[in-house]
A and B are shown apart, each in its own frame.
Chain A
C-alpha cells in the first residue's frame, strides 16, 4: 500500500498530536490489572526534552530495580539524576546543549517507546536536547524523509534504526557531509559510512542466550522449532544461524526441526506454532524469534493445553510476556534493557558531538551501563550481555 507523502504527513501530525493527548490522559490507569496493564509510557512521539524539563519521562514512574535509566529523576526539575534511587547520578554533563536525534524504524510500538523513554532520561541527565521522530509504519522511504529533514535541521548527532540499511547508506553519507555525527542504533547499516553502531547485544549473545534458556527448560535435549518473523530480517536470520550452530555444537541431543516465518503477526505465529506441534508430535520446544512471535508461540502452547510438555522461549517485551511467563507457557524471554539502549544512544551522541573518542570499556556512570564495551574495528558500542526475563523479574520492567 503506497501512500502519498501528504497523507503520511497528515497522519504523522495527527498521530503525534493524538499520542500526546493519550499520554496525558492515560496515566491514571496505569495500575489496573496488577502489573500487566496497558503501561504508562509517556507516549509523546515528537518530543523535545530540553535540559531541565524532566518529569515528562513518564515511563520511569514504576521503574524497578534493574532499569536504573528509568528510575532516576522522578519529577526532579534539575534533571541532574542524583535523585534516582538506583544511584544513577554520576553521568557527566555535556559541555553544551547538543541536539541528539533518533529515528526509530517506526514510532508508537512499545519497543521504541521504551528506547525513547531511556533517551529522554539521558538527555535530561546530561543536559542536552532529545529529538525522537519516526514513521508510522516500518517504511524505508518515509524514514529517509524524516532523516533528511533532521539533517536540514542541523542536529548535532543523529541516530537511525534503519528499516532498509542499503537505501539508508546514501542518506547517512549526506548527513556526514553536512557535518553531523551520524550513527546507527538497534539495527546497523554495515555498508554505510556511519560513525558508530550502538548495539543492543551481540549476535552470539542473543542466539546463545535463547538456546541456553530453552535447553534449560527442555532438559538439554529434544526437538524444537523456530517461529521467526520477516524472512529478510537481517538480525533475526543471524540469530537463527547462531542458534543452529550453537545447538549442534553444545547440545548434541537437541535438534531444530523447522524454521518458519510468520511475519509480524501474533495470530499467524500462533497458528504456525500449532501446526508445528501437530506436524511434529515429539516436539518439546518452540522459539518465538521476535516480539510478535514470542507471545504467539506461548499462546499456541496454552491453547493446546501443552503447558509443561512443550516449552517456549522468545524475544518478547516484558509486558506482553508477563502473563505467559506467569502461567508457564513461556519459560523465559531473552531481551536487553531497551531503555538502557536509548540511554546509551544519547550518551554516544554526546561523546561524538564533543569530539571524544570511545574507550574500549567506557565509563558511563550508571549502574545498568557498566558492561558497555567498544570495538574500534567495527565501530560498535555494545550494551552488554542480554537480559533474561523470567516470571520472577518480569514485573521489574515496564515496557
Chain B
C-alpha cells in the first residue's frame, strides 16, 4: 500500500552534514531493513489470508481495514518524531478524547461544515500538544512523566465536556472520513489516503531537510546537538505540537466511524500508536526511526487483528501476536544497534 511513497535516491543534503552528522553516515538507506521485513511479513500474511479465508483480499474487507489503520497511523507519524527525539507521548489518548468529544458535540448541537470541526479539532489538538511540548522542552522532566500527568488532566477535561453521557445521534457531516461509501474515492478510503500523503511528506521532511535531521540529532545526543547549533527546545516542543495536531485529525477519523461516541474513545489508543511505532522499527531510545515503518506497523497490527477474526480464531490470539511482534521488533532493533556499534 505504502510502497509507492518510497522515491528514488536522495539528493545531497544541503548544510546539515557538517553540523550534526560529522561521524555518521550521510543518510541511511531510503528503506530500512525493518521496513523490508515488515513489507514481507504483511505480504505473506495477506497471501495466506487470501488463500485461507473467503474474502480477505476483497474491497469489502480491505477498505474497512485501511479505514481502521488510518487514525492509528496518522497519530503514529507524530509519535514517531517524538520517539525519534528520545521522548514519548502517552497523552494522545487524552487529546483524542477531548478533540473527539468537542467535534461530536459541535456536530450534534450546531449546523457546521466539515472544515470548521476539522480546524477546531486540529487546533485543540495542537494546543494540548503545545502544553506537553513546553512542559517537556523547558521543564526538563522526562516526557513519560509529563504526558502521564497531562493525559489525566486531558481526560478530566474530556469527561467534563462529555457531561456524563455518551454522545449519540452524531450527524454524518464527517462521512467523507468514515467507512461508508461516502468515505471512499476510487475505492480508497479518504482517511487512509490522507494518512499516506502526510506520511510521505513527513518521510521526505525527516530525511531530506536540515530541520528533519535535527530531530534525529536530538535523539542521538541532545548535548552534541545543542553544541552543533540545533535549537533543541523549540524543536522538541514542535514534535509534541505535531503529535497533538495529528491526534486532533485522528479524532475526526474516529468520530466519523460511528454515530455514537463513548467516553473510552481514546482508551488504549496511546499504546496502539506506540506499538505501531515500535513495530515499525523506530528505536524507543531515540535517534533512529521512520514514519514509513510506523505506517507498516499499524497495517501489520490491523492485519493480524482482522486476520484472527476472519480465520475464526479466538480473539485474544491477536493480542498475543501483537505482543510477539513488539518483542521481536525491539529485539531486532537491539541486535542491529549492537552490530552498528561493533562496526564503528
Give me the interface of A with B, judged by CB distance under 8 Å.
Answer: 3, 7, 11, 14-15, 18-19, 21-23, 26, 29, 32-33, 35-39, 41, 43, 45, 107-110, 113, 136, 231, 257-258, 260-267, 270-272, 274-281, 292, 295-296, 299-300, 302-305, 317, 319-320, 322-324
Contact = CB atoms under 8 A, between A and B. Distances in A.
A43 B165 contact: yes
Interface string B252-285: 0010011111111001100000000000000000
Interface residues of B, number: 52
A26 B164 CA distance: 11
Given A36-B168, A38-B165, 9 more contacts: A14-B156, A38-B108, A265-B267, A270-B64, A271-B306, A279-B310, A303-B178, A320-B168, A322-B168
B80 interface: no
Contacts of B178: 303
Interface of B: 53-56, 58, 60-61, 64-65, 68, 105, 108-109, 152, 155-156, 159-169, 171, 178-181, 254, 257-264, 267-268, 302, 305-306, 309-312, 315-316
A303 B160 CA distance: 31
B332 to A, nearest CB: 27
A267 B96 CA distance: 14
A109 B64 contact: no
11 contacts: A11-B156, A23-B163, A32-B108, A37-B169, A38-B169, A110-B166, A263-B268, A271-B64, A271-B65, A278-B310, A295-B258
B258 A22 contact: no
Given A258-B312, A266-B258, A281-B55, A323 B169 contact: yes
Give the most central of A37, A107, A257: most B CB within 10 Å: A37
Contacts of A43: 163-165
B54 A299 contact: no
Contacts of A113: 164-165
Contacts of A23: 163-164
Given A39-B165, A272-B309, A15 B160 contact: yes
A262 B315 contact: yes
Contacts of B259: 295, 299, 323-324
B108 A37 contact: yes
Contacts of B156: 11, 14-15, 18
A110 B165 contact: yes
A271 B165 CA distance: 24
B312 A109 contact: no
A267 B108 contact: no
B180 A302 contact: yes
Given A7-B152, A279-B54, A109 B166 contact: yes
A261 to B, nearest CB: 4
B166 A317 contact: yes
A324 B168 CA distance: 11
Contacts of A266: 257-258, 260-262
A320 B159 contact: no
A110 B65 CA distance: 30
A265 B264 contact: yes
A264 B264 contact: yes
Given A11-B156, A18-B160, A267-B257, A292 B168 contact: no
